[in-house]
Amino acid sequence: MDLDIEKFFAGVMINGVVIETVGGTPQGGPLSPLLANILLNDLDKELEKRGHRFVRYADDCNIYVKSKRAGERGLWLVFVSFCRSG
């Protein structure tokens, strides 16, 4: 089986024209959900540890809170989690 791995990492389509990219995975690509799950696993653990209710599928996430202040703290937690992951 001849697998061209480069096709999974290159390009985005804008107005029907494919433009080459130098990094990342294309939105909707087969690797995108897998990589999101790997990257966000630590965030899931932290949200669970703090008792937050949340639903996440790949890079889509809803965190349910009872107040604006709790939402602000949850947003800060997400921000810090991304800063730690590089």
- Write the DSSP string, 1-67: ----GGGGTS-EEETTEEE--SSS--TT-TTHHHHHHHHHHHHHHHHHHTT-EEEEETTEEEEE-SS
Taking every pair of Cα atoms in the chain, the longest distance, rounded to a whole number of angstroms, is 54
Q: Which of 79 and 82 is assigned the larger pLDDT?
A: 79
Picking from 78, 81, 41, the residue whose alpha carbon sits closest to that of residue 63 is 78
Q: Is the separation of the CB atoms in 60 and 54 below 8 Å? A: no
Asked whether 44 and 50 are in contact (CB, 8 A), the reply is no
Q: What confidence tens digit (pLDDT) does each residue in 4-50 have?
A: 555 555 566 678 787 777 666 666 777 778 888 888 888 899 889 98
More confident position, 71 or 20: 71
Q: Is the pLDDT of residue 1 over 50?
A: no
